[in-house]
Structure 1
Amino acid sequence: MSSTATTAPLAGRTVSRVGYGAMQLERLRDDRAAAVALLRRAVELGVDHVDTAQFYGNGFVNGVIREVVGSGDDVLVATKVGADPDPDGPIPLRLAQRPEQLRASVESNLVSLGTDRIPLVNLRRADLRPGVTAEGDQVVDLDDQLEVMTALRDEGKIGAIGLSAVTTGILRRALPAGIACVQNAYSLVGRGDEDMLELCRAEGIAWVPFFPLGGAFPGMPKVTGEPAVHAAAEALGCTPSQVGLAWLLHHAPHVHLIPGTADTAHLEANIAAGGIVLDDSTLATLDAVRTRSMDVALG
């Protein structure tokens, strides 16, 4: 049988490997009490790593986190910069890659989260799909970005630096700056970044996949569409989504999950996935599932 540790290091802390991605709280912006109750339930269930961004609901999500979590140390709050809210745009964000924009984004997060220090800030680059790619003055050299990020860390405004949507080459260039985590699209059916995952493991960097079940956009493969995943779920008495999340935790010990939802039952199921044990035979079957491209455009 293959069991997994329930906690792992992230940004200098040891936290539960199943956290919460807060983006979906935006769906509850017309019922703030429900959003607060959902996040409180997550914390009650042991979530001590919450992933957010100022552009989630144009500050609404950060406000909910501020109300529930405050500025204490019980929950590691990670945010991301590299884009700013654009509520009236075709998608509700716009790139903000320039150094002065990164600093302004950190300052905005500090205000909306009600704190003077954010434990982890991820630099969301714009090199890769899925997502918006950089053009014009938003094509910014990594060194210029890391200069301002390290300055913010030296000033005590952020505790650790992460990277998001990056290539292995970008990660290697960034290593001397001290990188705490990498967030890339990755799932059972989208394992194109296996080399980077292994590099992170060797360097003691947490791997925090987004789109952990694939299928976030039309044309993107879905973990829950795989017959092997359904067979495992039936045998284990759980859902296909839980199998997909459990596989990630079993696949490598430095994986942290940040699944998001606006539904309490779904939240509870996601967190319960951390306790699912996959035997060696099931793991081998899931490992054999074919990986496909996750190169999908936004907008």
Structure 2
Amino acid sequence: MTQNIDELREVSPTIDLKDLGTVHRLGFGAMRIVGDGVWGEPASRGTAVDVVRRAVELGVDFIDTADSYGPNISEEIIAEALHPYPDGVRIATKVGFTRTGPNQWIPVGRPEYLRQQTELSLRKLKVDSLDLLQLHRIDPKVDADEQFAVLRDLQQEGKVKALGLSEVSVDQLKAAGKFFTVSTVQNRYNLTDRTSEEVLDYATEQGIGFIPWAPISAGELARPGGPLAEAAERLNASTSQVALAWLLRRSPVMMPIPGTGSIAHLEDNMGAGGVSLDDATYAELENAR
């Protein structure tokens, strides 16, 4: 793209999140600023700090992390990079997983564990109240109502402003809604994986922010000669930018959070805010699988 990357704040669309306020829909996911397997320190902590700061310089005001990224390290790097946080920047985190090693994720939804991890996130992020707390997974071994109830209690106590869920069904969203206002839902969704279409449609109807994880995954669509690659060439954009632009147009509640540990990749991703898909290109990508 030829557009000045520093002007993207003006063109990136926004959303008004329940209990939280207005943020730009193109955010930053902080899972990749830690070590391989989402485990341990990154190769360069200084680079990770620089990436987070550059994201905010580019207009990002919604950063998504989790206590399990590292674990702990992602939250610590965000605080090191940004605290005291610039006005309007919201940090979303998640609880509900424990880690036993690289690429190992074990859901733990016991109320005392969720409360403990929330308290630790407050400490690591150096805040008195979390902007957005999401249940990373509903633990099937613990009654879901107990998990929803402790989130409600944490919000009522002022330790959390807004609440969300991750990898849930419409029925689970409705069940959680009996305990608290659901601000966001974070499910896997991209050009080649649309299994959460029903959840996205429900979120759109209800005005719930939909955070698609793995938003850029496009597989063969991005290969030379594929529809994504051809669209990128026509638009003078990268395939990642077009994939993100398609998501942004797909629904007004869509909030992609592409993650990276590289400033170059970050700047390329943020360029998606300035990519406008014509109707024909959008329809072509909509029909590509």
Aligned equivalents of 1:224, 1:139: Cα separation in 2: 39
**Cα deviation digits, residues 133-172 of structure 1 (max 9, x gap):** x5xxx52222111100000000111111101000111112
Distance in 2 separating the partners of 1:223 and 1:190: 12
Whether 1:185 and 2:185 are equivalent positions in the alignment is no
- The 10-residue stretch of structure 1 (257-266 or 56-65) with the greater mean CA deviation from structure 2: 56-65
Contact 2:130/2:160 (8 A) holds in 1: yes
Question: 1:230–1:124: structure 2 CA closer, same or farther, 3 Å change rule?
Answer: same
Q: Distance in 2 between matches of 1:111 and 1:264?
A: 27
Moved more, 223-232 or 278-287: 223-232
Q: Would the aligned equivalents of 1:208 and 1:257 in 2 still touch at CA under 8 Å? A: yes
Using the TM superposition, give the Cα deviation of residue 196 of structure 1 relative to its aligned residue in structure 2, in angstroms.
1.4
Counterparts of residues 134-153 of structure 1 (less than 5 Å): 139-153=141-155
Q: Which amino acid aligns with 1:211?
A: A
1:103-252 alignment runs, 5 A limit: 103-126=115-138, 139-176=141-178, 177-214=180-217, 221=219, 224-225=222-223, 227-252=226-251
- TM-score where L is the length of structure 1: 0.85
Secondary structure at 1:201 match in 2: helix
In structure 2, the partner of 1:131 is: none
The reply to whether residue 79 of structure 1 matches residue 93 of structure 2 is: yes
User: Contact between 2:132 and 2:163, CA under 8 Å: does it hold in 1?
Assistant: yes
Q: Is the 8 A contact 1:223 1:241 kept in 2?
A: no
Report the Cα distance in structure 2 between the residues aligned to 1:247 and 1:70, rounded to whole angstroms. Answer: 33
- Quick one: which amino acid aligns to residue 198 of structure 1? D
Q: Distance in 2 between matches of 1:285 and 1:93?
A: 36
Say which SS state the counterpart of residue 50 (structure 1) adopts: strand
CA contact 2:188–2:214 (8 Å) conserved in 1: yes
Q: Which structure 2 residue ranges, 5 or more long, are not aligned?
A: 1-10, 36-40
**Partner SS for 1:58:** coil
Provide closer, same or farther for how the CA distance between residues 94 and 192 of structure 1 changes in structure 2, counting only shifts above 3 A: closer
Contact 1:70 1:114 (8 Å CA) reproduced: yes
Could you tell me which amino acid in structure 2 is paired with residue 9 of structure 1? D
Aligned-pair Cα RMSD in Å: 1.9
Asked if residue 24 in structure 1 is aligned to residue 37 in structure 2, the reply is no
Q: Matched residues, percent identical?
A: 40
Q: Residue in 2 aligned with 1:59?
A: 72
- Does residue 9 (structure 1) correspond to residue 19 (structure 2)? The answer is no
CA distance in 2, matches of 1:23, 1:283: 29
Aligned counterpart in structure 2 of residue 39 of structure 1, from 30, 33, 52: 52
Larger CA deviation: 184-193 vs 64-73: 64-73
Contact 1:214 1:222 in 2 (8 A): no
Question: Partner residue of 2:38?
Answer: none
Distance 1:96 1:104 in 2: 12
Contact 1:120/1:159 (8 A) holds in 2: yes
Q: What secondary structure is seen at the aligned counterpart in 2 of 1:192?
A: coil
Aligned residues: 270
How far has the Cα of 1:192 moved from its partner?
Answer: 1.8
* Length-normalised TM-score, structure 2: 0.88
Q: What residue number does 1:288 align with?
A: 287
Letter in 1 for 2:16: P
Does the 8 Å contact 1:53/1:80 carry over to 2?
Answer: yes
Conserved 8 A contact 1:165-1:185: yes
Amino acid of the structure 1 residue aligned with 2:229: H
SS where residue 119 of structure 1 aligns? strand
> Could you say which residue in structure 2 is the equivalent of 1:296?
none
Give, in angstroms, the shift of residue 8 of structure 1: 1.3
SS in 1 for 2:15: strand
Contact conserved, 1:76 with 1:119, CA < 8 A, in 2? yes
Secondary structure of the corresponding residue to residue 56 of structure 1:
coil
Q: Deviations over 1:60-106 (max 9, x none)?
A: 111111122225443100001111243xx363543221111111111
State the shift of 1:275 in Å.
Answer: 1.0
